[in-house]
Amino acid sequence: MIMLLSALLVASLWLHQRPAPRKVTQEDIDAAVLRTLETTTPPSADARAVEAIAPSVVRVAGYSRSKNGKEEIERGVGTGVVIVDKGVILTNLHVVAGADRIAITFHDGLETTASITGTQPENDLAVLQAHKVPDDLEAAPLRSTQDLRPGDHVVAVGFPFGIGPSASAGVVSGLRREFTSPEGKRQLSNLIQFDAAANPGNSGGPLVTLDGEVVGIVTAILNPTSARTFIGIGFAVPIENAAAAVGMPPF
C-alpha cells in the first residue's frame, strides 16, 4: 500500500511539473498558411476558366440517313453551350443544318437528342432544345463584349476533330471583323478575332474570359490553304448576337 501511494505521488508531481501546451498564436497560423502557399501550386487562370465553363459545354453531332435509308451517317461533330438550364443550347447553324438527327452529350455523360427551335443564319447560329437534361445542369454565365479589348485573355472550349472537351488559350486579336467562307456561302460581320487554337469541331463552342464568362460563340477559322486547320486566326460571334437568337434581353 505504501509503495502504491508513493507511485501515485510521484506521478502527480510529474504531471504538475510538465509544462502546459503552448497556445497557438496568429503568427503560427500565418506561418502555416505561408508554408501551404509555398508548397502548393494553385491552378492557373486558364484552368479556373475551363473549370467554370466545363459543366455547360456539350458535344453536338449531326446524323443523316444513308441513301438506302438503313444506316445513320455522322455528318460532323461540333460543340454547344447551355445558356438556359432547361436544356437550351447555342451552337453554329452549319453544325446541325440538314441533319436528320441531332445528338447531344452533356458534361456528365448523359446522351440525348435535340431539336432546332430557332436559327439566326446571318450569324451562323442555331438554338437547340435538348429532349433530356441532367438534374444539375448549369447554364453558362454570359458577359457583354462592350468592354472587351484586344489583348484580353480568352479560352476556347470544344471538341476539335471530335476530341474533347479540349481547351486552348489565347487573346482577343481584334473586334468587329468580317469573314467570308472559302466557298463564299457564309458572310459574317461584327466578329471577335482571337488566336486561341480552334479547329473543325470547335464550331459552336464558347469563347470565355478568364472569369469563365461567355463572350462569344466560336464560328470560323481563317486558313487560305485547303487544309482547313488553324493557323492563328479564329472568329467568334459576340454573345450579344447569340443571346438575341434565343430572345434573351440585351446586356
Q: What is the pLDDT of residues 64-85, one digit of tens each?
A: 988 777 788 888 899 999 999 9
Q: CA 62, CA 47: separation in Å to the nearest integer?
A: 29
Of 198, 216, 203, 169, give the one whose Cα is nearest residue 50: 169
Residue type (1 letter), 32: A
Place of cell 466578329: 191
Residue type (1 letter), 243: A
Q: Are 234 and 193 in contact (CB under 8 A)?
A: yes
Q: CA 86, CA 229: separation in Å to the nearest integer?
A: 34
Q: Are 168 and 145 in contact (CB under 8 A)?
A: no
Q: CA 126, CA 201: separation in Å to the nearest integer?
A: 15
Q: Are 194 and 236 in contact (CB under 8 A)?
A: yes
pLDDT reported for residue 41: 72
Cβ partners under 8 Å of residue 161, min gap 6: 77, 199, 200, 201
Q: CA 63, CA 102: separation in Å to the nearest integer?
A: 6
Of 160, 155, 159, give the one whose Cα is nearest residue 215: 155
Global model pTM greater than 0.85: no
- In degrees and rounded to multiples of 5, residue 58 shows phi and psi of -125, 155
Domains and CATH numbers, the chain: 54-130 (2.40.10.10), 153-245 (2.40.10.10)
Reported residue count of the chain is 251
Cβ partners under 8 Å of residue 232, min gap 6: 195
Residue type (1 letter), 1: M
Would you name the residues annotated as active-site residues? 94, 124, 203
pLDDT reported for residue 2: 54
136: which DSSP letter?
T
Cell of 3: 509503495
Per-residue pLDDT of the chain (251 residues; tens, 9 = 90+): 555 445 545 455 545 555 556 676 877 667 766 776 666 677 899 999 999 999 999 999 999 988 777 788 888 899 999 999 999 999 999 999 999 999 999 999 999 999 999 999 989 999 999 999 999 999 999 999 999 999 999 999 999 999 989 999 999 999 999 998 766 677 889 999 999 999 999 999 999 999 999 999 999 999 888 888 899 999 999 999 877 766 665 54
Report how far Cα 96 is from the mean position of its chain's Cα atoms. 20
pLDDT reported for residue 73: 86
Cell of 40: 502548393
pLDDT reported for residue 4: 46
Q: CA 145, CA 142: separation in Å to the nearest integer?
A: 10
| pLDDT tens by residue, 8-42 | 454 555 455 555 566 768 776 677 667 766 666 77
